[in-house]
Amino acid sequence: MIDHIKAPVLKLKTIRLLEKNQYTFDVDLKATKTEVKRWVEGFFGVKVTGMNSHRPPRKLKRMGATVGYPVRYKRMIVTLRPGDSIPLF
């Protein structure tokens, strides 16, 4: 399952979500909410109360004459119960 979790996301919006005890991860497109929930609860030892997911829109990238799209990913927003936190952040 560790292969499906790409990385935690640290942007302005996700830093604001930390105040609400919500953490954001980029995951593989094939990962489901249940898999990510089990992984976060098992790896960090916390209780997940909610999950939201979305796939950001594709953006066209240009490298000289070559035009293409970067690899797609899914973004998961994980809500933890009050009192729990993830030490990464």
Q: Which positions ≥6 away from 35 have C-beta within 8 Å?
A: 1, 4
Residue numbers of the domain that contains 43: 5-80
Q: What digits encode the pLDDT tens for the residues 24-49?
A: 999 999 999 999 999 999 988 999 99
Domain containing 45 — which CATH number?
3.30.70.330
Kindly state whether residue 87 falls inside one of the protein's structural domains.
no
User: Is 89 domain-assigned?
Assistant: no
In a domain? residue 86: no
3-state secondary structure 19-68: HHCEEEEEECCCCCHHHHHHHHHHHHCCCEEEEEEECCCCCCEEECCEEE
How many domains would you assign to the chain?
Answer: 1
Q: Is residue 88 part of a domain?
A: no
Residue 73 included in any domain: yes
Give the predicted TM-score (pTM) of the model.
0.83
55-65 pLDDT, tens digit each: 989 899 998 99
